[in-house]
């Protein structure tokens, strides 16, 4: 079962071929003038150049080929040779009934499913997530769901930043501030065993780590001795010295609670909750293998892999594999992670949903992975994204100018959602638990749709007042439309009204069916471009088309045959809208 755009495209391509023109010129697109036609083909202009004929002459020959197609109510020539296609009402009725009967609502699966791993989220242990983690989490979750729905076998990996130099910095900072912990850690390091009394370690909180980390990072840049000590601690941690390792485990434990809270609030989950530490055991043998392959180069006491290639427009720096102090580096862990994923899952494609500013880093790591034989060209792909900015056009900050914590943003949005629901008189006569559940769904819809309606590569301005509105192009508007359909269908069921075969006659019905038919095309674009905004746009257009249909085509008061047809259209719209929103990671409440 293919959509109308593709089916008619095949017919137009065959018509071009029949008159001796290249068939690929018969590409069909939705009409720029929906008041005149449903679809159009502009290929006659290009065909005329190739065949040395007048474009309208080419178009007339194509129209003659299509004249007998029963799926079309009309085929006309406009302007210099544009071909306009009007779909027959019976064809739209048949297509509507196909979509209604299809569990996938008109969406196809990929011809050749792949094993795909999506790396997203990327939170750091010992630091609460901030607003910068929002886009990676939202976009990555949607891509994971989209690829899985299209038929791929997909794993989503959080990929924690829980190993390396930043841990050495933080361990040193905690030991400096709390002498009791310093003594315990140093004692355990000497004894070679974890201390039996870990009570002092339990006093370390996430708030302590959040406060100490920026101070330690700044000092590490300015103070050579401090930096060198942090590197030695890092090497000790990577060697699993008991005291350092026990303190690091405390960092990971207190961070996990906050991470799970924030991800759960956003409706985000992972198949793998792996961190950089999970590949630590691979690094030593991997470095030996890289050395044996002749890839490692000594450079001022460090060991590197050169990745620059002939033809590069600019020279990329090498991948630093082992520091001059002997510790593995950030890129080394990323390389080991690629190896780990190959051994555990053997993916055809790994998608890294990470800030665009990391593009060079990933290019370096990917090239090194290909040189090492851990991946093939094109198997690793970084899909970057822009920043989420405040209304001043600058990266989103707190009023004090600091980085806004993600949990604080979630709470801000949930508070605004409660306010919006109350203003609109929605959620009245509900118990507090149900109201809070709805407010949470409205807040998540506001956050996610605000992000996903934009192409991921662009930055956007986050306006809390605008994005929590129940009017306009917002997540709450889409929820309201879906809930309105649910309410309508409940009333119909209470009256004993049943759904029946769809018969399309009114203009608003035509527009709604054509929008339902465009679902697979939106999914294909989102999948191919790894860009959920195409699906978000479809959800919005579907809501708009239903709103016009709802206003123009009475349902419950219509005569029985017409009523049953329109109820089927309403139910099908609801199912497709809920499915599209679910693929965006947005849940719809039963009522408001």
Cα(first)–Cα(last) distance of the chain, in Å? 36
Residue 270: pLDDT band by 50, 70, 90 thresholds?
very high
Inter-CA distances, 289 with 96, 128, 282, 374, Å: 59, 36, 11, 11
What pLDDT score was predicted for residue 141?
Answer: 97
Residue 272 has pLDDT above 80, yes or no: yes
Q: Is the dihedral of CA 92, 96, 102, 106 positive or negative?
A: positive
Indicate if the pLDDT at residue 167 is higher than 70: yes
Geometric angle at alpha carbon 350, from 349 and 353, rounded to 5°: 135
Taking 60 as the threshold, does the pLDDT of residue 294 lie above it? yes
What pTM value is reported for the model? 0.91
The whole-chain average pLDDT of the chain stands at 92
As a whole number of angstroms, the distance between CA 16 and CA 10 comes to: 10
Q: Hey, is 351 helix, strand or coil?
A: strand
Question: Is residue 365 pLDDT above 70, yes or no?
Answer: yes
pLDDT tens across 91-113, in order? 999 999 999 999 999 999 999 99
Model pLDDT for residues 120-158, shown as the tens digit of each residue: 988 888 777 877 788 999 999 999 999 999 999 999 999
563 CB neighbour count, 10 Å cutoff: 20
Non-local CB neighbours of 136 within 8 Å, separated by 6+ positions: 120, 121, 122, 353, 354, 355, 385
587, 482 contact by CB (below 8 A): no
Give Cα 68 distance to the centre of its chain.
44
pLDDT of 202 reads 81
CB 523 within 8 A of CB 150: yes
CA dist., res. 583 & res. 574, Å (int): 14
Domain spans in the chain, listed from the N-terminal domain onward: 4-87, 165-265
Q: What digits encode the pLDDT tens for the residues 486-528?
A: 999 999 999 999 999 999 999 999 999 999 999 999 999 999 9
Q: Which residues have C-beta within 8 Å of that of residue 288, sequence separation ≥ 6?
A: none
- Cβ(129)–Cβ(136) under 8 Å? no
pLDDT mean over 333-343: 96
Q: Could you tell me which of 163, 182, 162 has the C-alpha nearest to residue 172?
A: 182
CA 388/CA 123 separation, integer angstroms: 17
How many angstroms separate the CA atoms of 156 and 177, rounded?
A: 37
Residue 261's pLDDT is 82
User: Which tokens belong to 578?
Assistant: 């809920």
CA distance 427 to 115: 43
Task: Report percent pLDDT > 90 for the chain.
Answer: 73
The proportion of the chain whose per-residue pLDDT surpasses 70, expressed as a percent, equals 97
Which residues lie across from 405 on neighbouring strands?
130
Average pLDDT of the segment spanning 239-247: 90
pLDDT score at 400:
59
Which tens digit of pLDDT belongs to each residue from 378-409? 999 999 998 888 877 777 766 556 678 888 88
Residue 431 DSSP symbol: -
DSSP for 539-591, please give it. Answer: HHHHHHHHHHHHHHS--TTS-HHHHHHHHHHHHHHHHHHHHHHHHTT----S-
4-87 is a CATH 3.10.20.30 domain: no
Torsion of CA 576, 581, 582, 583, to 10 degrees: 90
3-state secondary structure of 411: helix
pLDDT per position as a tens digit, 477-487? 999 999 999 99
pLDDT in the model for residue 399: 59
């Amino acid at each position: 079962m293919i959509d109308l755009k593709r089916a008619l495209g095949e017919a137009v391509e065959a018509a071009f071929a029949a008159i001796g023109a290249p068939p690929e010129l018969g590409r069909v697109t939705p009409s720029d003038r929906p008041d005149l036609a449903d679809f159009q083909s502009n290929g006659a202009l290009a065909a005329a150049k190739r065949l040395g004929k007048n474009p309208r002459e080419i178009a007339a020959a194509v129209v003659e080929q299509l004249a007998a197609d029963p799926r079309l109510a009309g085929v006309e020539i406009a302007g210099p040779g544009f071909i306009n296609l009007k779909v027959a009402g019976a064809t739209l009725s048949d297509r509507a009934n196909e979509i209604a009967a299809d569990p996938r609502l008109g969406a196809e699966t990929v011809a050749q499913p792949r094993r795909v791993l999506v790396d997203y989220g990327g939170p750091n242990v010992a630091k609460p997530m901030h607003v910068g983690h929002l886009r990676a989490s939202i976009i990555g979750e949607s891509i994971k769901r989209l690829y899985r729905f299209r038929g791929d076998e997909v794993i989503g990996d959080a990929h924690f930043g829980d190993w390396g130099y930043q841990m050495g910095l933080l361990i040193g900072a905690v030991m400096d501030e709390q002498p009791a912990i310093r003594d315990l850690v140093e004692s355990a390091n000497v004894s070679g065993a974890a201390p039996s009394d870990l009570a002092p370690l339990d006093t370390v909180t996430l708030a302590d780590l959040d406060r100490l980390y920026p101070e330690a990072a700044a000092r590490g840049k300015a103070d050579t001795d401090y930096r060198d000590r942090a590197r030695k601690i890092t090497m000790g941690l990577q060697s699993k010295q008991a005291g350092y390792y026990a303190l690091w485990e405390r960092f990971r434990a207190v961070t996990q609670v906050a991470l799970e809270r924030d991800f759960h609030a956003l409706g985000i989950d992972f198949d793998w909750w792996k961190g950089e530490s999970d590949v630590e055991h691979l690094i030593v043998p991997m470095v030996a293998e890289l050395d044996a392959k002749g890839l490692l180069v000594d450079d001022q006491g460090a060991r590197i892999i050169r990745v620059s290639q002939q033809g590069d427009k600019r020279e990329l720096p090498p991948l630093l594999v082992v520091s001059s102090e002997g510790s593995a580096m950030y890129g080394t862990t990323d390389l080991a992670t690629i190896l780990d994923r190959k051994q555990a899952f053997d993916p055809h494609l790994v998608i890294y949903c990470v800030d665009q500013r990391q593009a060079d880093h990933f290019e370096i790591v990917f090239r090194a992975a290909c040189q090492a034989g851990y991946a093939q060209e094109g198997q690793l792909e970084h899909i970057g994204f822009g920043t989420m900015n405040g209304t001043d056009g600058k990266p989103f900050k707190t009023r004090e100018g600091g980085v806004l914590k993600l949990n604080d943003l979630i709470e801000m949005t949930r508070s605004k959602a409660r306010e919006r629901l109350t203003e609109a008189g929605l959620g009245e006569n509900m118990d507090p638990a149900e109201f809070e559940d709805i407010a949470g769904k409205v807040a998540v819809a506001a956050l996610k749709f605000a992000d996903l309606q934009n192409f991921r590569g662009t930055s956007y301005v986050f306006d809390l007042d605008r994005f929590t509105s129940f009017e306009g192009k917002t997540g709450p508007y889409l929820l309201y439309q879906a809930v309105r359909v649910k309410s309508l269908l409940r009333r119909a069921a209470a009256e004993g009204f049943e759904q029946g075969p769809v018969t399309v006659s009114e203009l608003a019905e035509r527009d709604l069916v054509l929008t339902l038919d465009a679902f697979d095309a939106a999914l294909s674009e989102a999948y191919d471009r790894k860009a959920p905004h195409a699906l978000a746009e479809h959800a919005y257009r579907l809501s708009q088309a239903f709103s016009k249909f709802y206003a123009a085509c009475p349902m419950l008061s219509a005569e029985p045959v017409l009523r049953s047809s329109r109820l089927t259209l309403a139910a099908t719209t609801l199912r497709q809208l809920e499915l599209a929103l679910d693929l965006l990671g947005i849940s719809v409440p039963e009522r408001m």
